Structure 1
Amino acid sequence: MGESQYDAVFWDIGGVLLDLDSVRAGHRAFVGALADEYDLDAEAALEAWRDELGTHFRERDGNVFRSARAGYERAIAAMVGHEVAEDDWLPAFERATREQLEPVSETVETIRTLDGRVHQGIVSDIDTWEAERLLAQFGVASHLDRVTTSEEVGRTKPDEAMFETALDKAGIEPARALMVGDRYENDMVGASRAGIQTVAFGGSAADADPDDPAVNHRIGDPRDVLALVGIEDAG
């Protein structure tokens, strides 16, 4: 192991730990099950779900947090034509998504390898309940030191409060931390403004101009983070 200039690694969830295609598959499976239950056209139901959920988040006031669970309830009501009690839809949602959701396996491997070597945290625009079930399902909850969600902070990235909260939990100076994310504005610009060093992995973050000062490192594989923190060999 070489000497590292970093003492903490912060991970995004969507697109970094969680495969986004599997999220879409999970939502499709859930909506399909609901369409069967209410005798709806599956494709029309899926379109209504996506439209209403998108509207829910677009109506957010700047970086103020909006609950995904509330968005799901709203989208379901738009699909079936009336409100559905949470007890009637949440178990089916959790079951359908649990069967479909897949992690980015290289990120899981890296988180496990870094356990005990650096502080590891999650910084994600997600409901806390959803973060907790994903981290448990993917077997990484016990390997992480702290989790920071938008529901907890009340703000979404790129708001500096998200990153400052994570730094406070870690007790780490910003320049000693890495933020691994896939979204340019939310992860790269937000973390950079907070003084955190950034790592672009896929998405709009990877598409940033090569000379963009908001992007400090670029990786094609999450395991490349090991070398950044001075671990050359995962074994």
Structure 2
Amino acid sequence: MSGEPSPDGSGDAAVNDSADGSTDTEWEAVFWDIGGVILALDSVQGAHAEFIAELCERHEVDATLEEAIETWRTTVGNYFREREGTEFRSARDGYHLGVEAIAGEEIPCEEWEPRFDEIVRDSIKPIPGAPETIERLADRDLHVGVISDVDDAEGRAMLERFGVREHFDSITTSEEVGRTKPDPAMFETALEKADVSPERSLMIGDRYDHDVKGAADMGMHGVAFGAEDGPAVSYRIESPAEVLEIVDGQRERTD
């Protein structure tokens, strides 16, 4: 997979602009975030709303569905905001707090988790075109990996649900590393697993600071899919399939 040394003899990957504005980088790896890139976030929100509706009915909660959803969002949001820096916090623990805040009493995990998992499993959907693109990338001489701020088991279950787990060469999660993006440890761990150069690696993400800039700070090339614009964006795509054009050298850099 490695290309020739750069003209200055440094050995770094060459990212040279050709006459038509494309690049001739020989890419070694493509890393994907999960939420908002492979996983459609609105399907997750729908699953949570369905679960909350059932929770309210089961525990006779004196609140509208909208009020209960807002309680869930506030409780889970505060749980994550209270962490120190990029410290990992399990989403499952946050959901447990959300359940108790809505029900107004302590609810054992074994009472709500099975139904929660069932609803999520049946409701989540992939971003259109993402599974097909991942499968096509897997047929190429590239390392295809995941770098995601998810609980390890949940992340792997989502990839299995979408039929793409087998196409990934590596999966790096925040639970495994103990940190969340943009902590350098997330990207360093993934790059070490893949044994690839950051300069020849793409990172596809939907959040500028966490995914795109975090990757760029490590020398990787950030691919913004729904993420805000900024100097760290090397490429911007409107659909997952456009990643194939980048890999094939058919897309211009944004800078």
SS of residue in 2 equivalent to 1:178: strand
Q: Extract unaligned runs of 5+ from structure 1.
A: none
TM-score, normalised to structure 2's length?
0.85
SS of residue in 1 equivalent to 2:202: strand
Match of 1:184 in 2: 208
Residue 223 in structure 1 maps to residue 244 in structure 2: no
SS of residue in 2 equivalent to 1:222: coil
Aligned-pair CA distance for 1:3: 6.8
TM-score, normalised to structure 1's length?
0.92
Match of 1:174 in 2: 198
- Give the share of equivalent positions with the same residue, in percent: 47
Residue 103 in structure 1 maps to residue 126 in structure 2: yes
Q: 1:115-126 to 2 correspondence within 5 Å?
A: 115-117=138-140, 118-126=142-150
- CA offsets 1:44-77 (integer angstroms, 9 cap, x no match): 2222111100110110111000110100111111
Distance 1:90 1:227 in 2: 41
Q: 1:1-235 to 2 correspondence within 5 Å?
A: 5-40=26-61, 41=63, 42-117=65-140, 118-202=142-226, 205=227, 207-209=228-230, 212=231, 214-230=232-248
In 2, are the aligned partners of 1:26 and 1:101 still within 8 Å (CA)? yes
SS of residue in 1 equivalent to 2:233: coil
Aligned-pair CA distance for 1:23: 1.1
Distance 2:137 2:84 in 1: 37
Aligned-pair CA distance for 1:43: 2.6
In 1, are the aligned partners of 2:191 and 2:198 still within 8 Å (CA)? yes
- Which amino acid is 2:165 matched to? A
- Which amino acid is 1:179 matched to? M
- CA offsets 1:1-39 (integer angstroms, 9 cap, x no match): x97521100000111001111111011011111111111
- Which amino acid is 1:166 matched to? A
- Higher relative CO (Cα under 8 Å, sequence separation at least 6) belongs to 1
Q: Find the structure with the greater CA-based Rg.
A: 2
Which stretch has the larger CA shift, 134-143 or 112-121? 112-121
In 2, are the aligned partners of 1:10 and 1:122 still within 8 Å (CA)? yes
In 2, are the aligned partners of 1:4 and 1:230 still within 8 Å (CA)? no
Q: Which has the higher helix share?
A: 1
Distance 1:3 1:175 in 2: 13
In 1, are the aligned partners of 2:25 and 2:200 still within 8 Å (CA)? no
Distance 1:165 1:120 in 2: 14
Aligned-pair CA distance for 1:169: 0.5
